[in-house]
């Protein structure tokens, strides 16, 4: 609820979005927190409440200071930047984005999301590489297949996003499989845990990384059901035949399909996106009570697209190199 005389930041950003590209939809990502033992060694087990978080569809307004600056050093070419981001208060995000009331049966625990922290990340959908409103098949089934109709190079693709709902009751996505043109041999598979992760109450947004992913990496998605307790659902990555989307040049190798599978029939997906992500790391936070937050952010990643392309060419034909390393961090 917005008090009289207060700024409804979420509504203001949505209104500005009709006139300015500076109003964005962003995905909040926080890495899981691990502890140390008595000898200072890292404990790989993640305690409940310290899971990471992935929260898509957060309204943000970018007021650029320096949104892109090129640096060229011994490690390679890097594009960095800095900007001020304005986002709604955490209470507003929980209520409007996640659908979590301040009290009630389905009030989520989310002890790790009571405040923003330095080095939390916001991913901007910087460039949509491929999009589809739906998979083109009948709704309410157990398998949805998105087919890329052109030879899509992968070196600009960082993440994928889609929305999912059920035709009645609860369901769960079991796997999301990304395949290249070699068929079933080269894949990246995100496998979700055995808990329900979507229902018929609304469209739930799933956002997953597909670049710089290693086997065993995990993503933590927030599930808020129409009733009952909310929770965090874990997806784990497996890689077959050295899948690496950055190696796909759009000619000899390219992305072909993304297969989304659910535990039972009833699943419908829409608004599928493959996109290049601008990664903003939160550095400073100013909270204006329960109205909005002002974030000073740094873009510490975001290689120039031509350098990504050059890295692939260099791998295929060493006679045209050498080129600088793709990553400079």
Tokens standing for residue 2: 């917005």
Instruction: Establish if 126 belongs to a structural domain.
Output: yes
Instruction: Establish if 329 belongs to a structural domain.
Output: no
Nearest one of 212, 58, 28, 209 to 120, comparing CA atoms = 28
Q: How many distinct structural domains can be found in the chain?
A: 1
Q: Label the pairing between strands 53-73 and 23-30.
A: antiparallel
Domain that holds residue 148: 9-320
pTM of the model: 0.83
Instruction: Establish if 266 belongs to a structural domain.
Output: yes
Q: Residues near 22 by Cβ (< 8 Å), separated by ≥ 6?
A: 16, 61, 62, 63, 64
Instruction: Establish if 180 belongs to a structural domain.
Output: yes
| Integer CA distances (angstroms), 150 to 130, 134, 135, 154, 251, in order | 10, 17, 15, 12, 10
pLDDT tens per residue across all 329 residues of the chain: 445 556 777 777 777 776 777 888 999 999 887 766 667 666 667 766 677 889 999 999 998 766 666 666 655 556 678 899 999 988 888 888 887 766 655 555 566 677 888 879 999 998 899 999 998 888 899 999 999 988 888 888 999 999 999 999 999 999 999 999 886 689 999 999 999 999 999 999 999 999 999 999 999 998 988 877 788 899 999 999 999 998 888 888 899 999 999 999 999 999 999 999 989 999 999 888 678 899 999 886 645 555 555 544 455 554 444 444 444 43
Nearest one of 232, 281, 316, 286 to 81, comparing CA atoms = 281
Instruction: Establish if 3 belongs to a structural domain.
Output: no
């Amino acid at each position: 609820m917005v008090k009289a005389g207060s700024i409804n930041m979420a509504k203001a950003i949505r209104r500005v979005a009709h006139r300015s590209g500076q109003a964005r939809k962003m995905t909040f990502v926080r890495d899981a927190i691990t502890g140390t033992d008595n000898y200072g060694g890292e404990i790989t087990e993640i305690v409940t409440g310290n899971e990471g978080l992935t929260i898509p569809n957060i309204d943000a307004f970018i007021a650029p200071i320096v949104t892109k600056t090129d640096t060229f050093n011994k490690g390679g070419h890097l594009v960095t930047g800095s900007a001020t981001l304005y986002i709604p208060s955490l209470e507003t995000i929980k209520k409007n984005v996640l659908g979590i009331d301040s009290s009630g049966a389905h009030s989520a625990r989310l002890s790790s999301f009571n405040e923003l922290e330095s080095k939390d990340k916001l991913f901007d959908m910087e460039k949509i590489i491929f999009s589809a409103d739906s998979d083109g098949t009948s709704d309410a089934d157990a398998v949805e297949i998105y087919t890329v109709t052109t030879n899509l190079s992968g070196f600009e693709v960082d993440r994928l996003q889609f929305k999912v709902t059920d035709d009645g009751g609860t369901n769960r996505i079991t796997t999301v499989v990304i395949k290249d043109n070699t068929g079933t041999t080269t894949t990246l598979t995100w496998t979700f845990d055995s808990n329900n992760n979507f229902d018929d109450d609304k469209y739930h947004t799933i956002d997953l990384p597909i670049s710089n992913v290693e086997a065993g990496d995990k993503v933590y998605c927030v599930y808020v059901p129409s009733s009952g307790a909310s929770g965090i659902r874990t997806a784990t990555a497996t890689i077959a035949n050295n899948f690496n989307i950055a190696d796909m040049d759009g000619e000899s190798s390219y992305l072909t399909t993304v297969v989304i599978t659910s535990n039972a029939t009833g699943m419908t997906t829409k608004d599928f996106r493959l996109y290049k992500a601008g990664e903003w790391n939160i550095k400073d936070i100013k909270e204006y009570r329960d109205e909005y937050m002002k974030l000073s952010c740094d873009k510490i990643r975001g290689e120039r697209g031509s350098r990504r392309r050059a890295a692939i060419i260099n791998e295929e034909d060493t006679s045209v190199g050498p080129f600088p390393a793709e990553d400079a961090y």
